[in-house]
Amino acid sequence: TQLLEQSPQFLSIQEGENLTVYCNSSSVFSSLQWYRQEPGEGPVLLVTVVTGGEVKKLKRLTFQFGDARKDSSLHITAAQPGDTGLYLCAALAGGTSYGKLTFGQGTILTVHP
């Protein structure tokens, strides 16, 4: 069974601070995705990383995929209250794992004005 360990579980910060969320596994993944979920809604895809060592930027969000494709991080610069939500990392094992995303436990981020 492939497991994704996400940390921290909770983050409560002030507007303008920076933060990093980590997603680690002992397994190698063909790709890794980051989602954000708001209350009453389903997760929304933020980014997919495929290549080991890949770095992707989405405005104030920076995503990294580890060289060995076993871990990833999400860094938010100058967090804003609108960044509040549940952040989830997820991985597709590839091959015949059709449609099956394995999710981390999630990080609940609260950004206070």
Q: Among 11-19, 37-45, 59-67, 69-77, which window interacts with other proteins (CB under 8 A)?
A: 37-45
Q: Does 30 bind other proteins (CB under 8 A)?
A: yes
Residues whose CB falls within 8 Å of the CB of residue 112, separated by 6 or more in sequence, listed in order: 12, 13, 14, 15, 81
Size of the site for other proteins (CB under 8 A): 26
Alpha carbon 70 to chain centroid distance? 13
Q: What is the DSSP string of 84-98?
A: -EEEEEEEE--TT-T
Q: Does 28 bind other proteins (CB under 8 A)?
A: no
Q: Does 31 bind other proteins (CB under 8 A)?
A: yes
- Of the candidates 13, 19, 28, 92, which one interacts with other proteins according to CB under 8 A? 92
Residue 62: phi and psi, rounded to 5, are -125, 130
Tokens representing 78?
């100058």
Handedness of CA 104, 15, 38, 45 (dihedral sign): negative
User: Would you say 30 or 77 has its CB closer to other proteins?
Assistant: 30
Enumerate residues 38-57 that contact other proteins by CB under 8 A: 40-45, 48, 50
Contact residues toward other proteins (CB under 8 A) are 30-31, 33, 40-45, 48, 50, 88, 90, 92, 94, 96-106
